[in-house]
Amino acid sequence: MINKLSDVQIRKAVHPSTKSLSDGKGLSIEIMPKAKRFKFRYQRPVNKKINNLVLGYYPSMSLKAAREIAQQYRELLKKGIDPKYQTSSEKVDFDHIIQLYLKKGKADWSEKHFNTTKGRYENFLKNPFGNRDAAQITSFDIYNLLESVAQSGSYGTAEKLSYIISGAYSQAAILGMVKFNPAAGVMKQVTKTKKTQQMPHFNLTRKGESERLGRFLNDIKALNKTNIAVKTALLLSPLLFMRSGSLASLKLESYDKDNKWLLINAEDMKKDHSDFIVPLSTQAINLLETLIAATKPKIYVFESRASKLGHIRIEAINKAKSRSGWRFDDVTIHGLRHTATTYLTEIGFDYEVTEMQLHHKLVGVRGIYNKAMHLDKRREMMQKWADYLDNLRNGI
């Protein structure tokens, strides 16, 4: 038997309606506007009627796999057995139905909405669901994932993920790839977390906000008559994503120039009681080195003789910010954490990576912290963020 089809031919095949390409001896592939599926055409042994069986969808099912199944069916027919009554799974990966959903969306949505939707899939859904059989993913699986995201403080994100999953399954059901939408009604069961007061921050998805952030960075850099330790702490705030208290009380022993990180011991962390690594960008290291050379601290990076604590107070950082012209309702030090991680998630960094950098526990995903978890990716992320801030400061 000479096979007529090739992977290249199938991959390049497109058709505005529906067209079948034959591979010979009953095997063909149906080219549809939004999908490609293998079919096996045969004469039923009992009533001699022509029947068609769907074998699977390309590329989830390869041409080689389709040929092997078709040959198995031919062997059954030789024995008088109807392949229809044999157990055969039609596997369609979740990634495949998502890609079809995105393909349709690209034609209907704005470029920004398309990129945001694609980013949410890659950051939240691809790892747990991507390679799984779409028909085997249950409502409970979807609920567990959405509940985990909601409990981490991102109920709104969980809602958006629900729309993506449900939209992809609804389309797949119409195309006959799955029998029903397992995401239907699931979001109603997800715990609606209390909306925590969101600290003022820069929403970089809004027009003009990146320019505002650039002005803020220049204003704090231009501060005069400010204690060098306080000013340096303020300049480091947008670079480190640290809580104000942890930053103000940072110990000198935590700074490791050779490894380019801050290693904060569990007892010095305000929450979770676990060691924590903060990778340092080149910009952050330069600020720390300049401060240490100028003040020669002994215990705390931001030492203060005026404070009984031995280090600067959170209030001192906030007052310096206010003197630069930025009030509490403009932006807070804590709000800068949200500014950074929201932006970085949107441009493609994994949700788990950004949450780790905030020292947040991922409910239902990680029970405990690994202090070196995602370290290489976090290094890349911190440097990319610092470079982005430099560009904003310079008006690029």
Helix (H) or strand (E) holding 27: strand 27-31
| Unique residue bearing structure tokens 């899939």 | 121
* Burial tier of 141 (Cβ tally within 10 Å: 0-12, 13-18, 19+): middle
Residues sharing a CB contact under 8 Å with residue 93, sequence separation 6 or more, in sequence order: 60, 130, 131, 132, 133, 134
Helix 333-346 × helix 111-120 angle, to 10°: 100
- pTM over 0.95, yes/no: no
The correct CATH number of 7-82 out of 3.40.50.720, 3.30.2130.10, 3.40.50.2300, 3.30.160.390 is: 3.30.160.390
| Unique residue bearing structure tokens 């995903």 | 365
Q: What pLDDT score does 193 carry? A: 67
Helix (H) or strand (E) holding 221: helix 209-221
Q: What pLDDT score does 232 carry? A: 96
Closest by CA to 145, choosing from 391, 351, 378, is: 351
Q: What pLDDT score does 2 carry? A: 53
What sign does the dihedral 304-307-308-314 (CA atoms) show?
A: negative
Contacts 24+ apart (CB under 8 A), 224-227: 226/320, 226/323, 227/304, 227/312, 227/316, 227/320
Per the DSSP assignment, residues forming a β-bridge with 58 are: 36
Instruction: State the CB neighbour count (10 A cutoff) for residue 123.
Output: 21
Instruction: Please give the Cα distance from 300 to 225 (Å, whole number).
Output: 22
Q: Are strands 261-264 and 255-256 parallel, antiparallel or unpaired?
A: antiparallel
Instruction: Please give the Cα distance from 255 to 139 (Å, whole number).
Output: 46
* Burial tier of 365 (Cβ tally within 10 Å: 0-12, 13-18, 19+): middle
C-beta separation of 238 from 389 below 8 A = yes
Instruction: State the CB neighbour count (10 A cutoff) for residue 300.
Output: 20
Q: What pLDDT score does 251 carry? A: 94
Query: Coil, helix or strand for 328?
Result: coil
Could you say which DSSP state residue 199 is in?
P
Q: Is 176 left (phi over 0), alpha (psi -120 to 50) or beta?
A: left
- Reading the chain (396 residues) residue by residue, the pLDDT tens digits are 456 889 899 988 887 778 889 999 999 999 988 889 999 999 987 678 899 998 888 988 889 989 998 998 898 888 777 787 554 455 678 998 999 899 889 888 888 889 889 988 988 899 899 999 999 999 999 999 999 888 876 788 899 999 999 999 998 888 777 889 999 999 999 988 665 456 667 877 778 888 989 899 999 999 988 999 999 999 999 999 888 888 999 999 999 999 999 998 766 665 555 678 899 999 999 999 999 999 999 999 999 988 888 999 989 998 999 998 888 777 788 888 888 888 887 787 877 777 777 765 544 334 334 445 678 888 999 999 999 999 999 987
- The third-level CATH classification (topology) of the domain covering 94-189 is DNA polymerase; domain 1 (1.10.150)
Q: What pLDDT score does 199 carry? A: 64
Residues sharing a CB contact under 8 Å with residue 31, sequence separation 6 or more, in sequence order: 13, 14, 15, 18, 19, 20, 21
CATH-assigned architecture of domain 209-393:
Orthogonal Bundle (1.10)
Chain-centroid distance of CA 178 in Å reads 26
Residue ranges of domains in the chain: 7-82, 94-189, 209-393
Q: What pLDDT score does 366 carry? A: 40
The order of strands in the sheet holding 36-43 is 19-24, 27-31, 36-43, 50-58
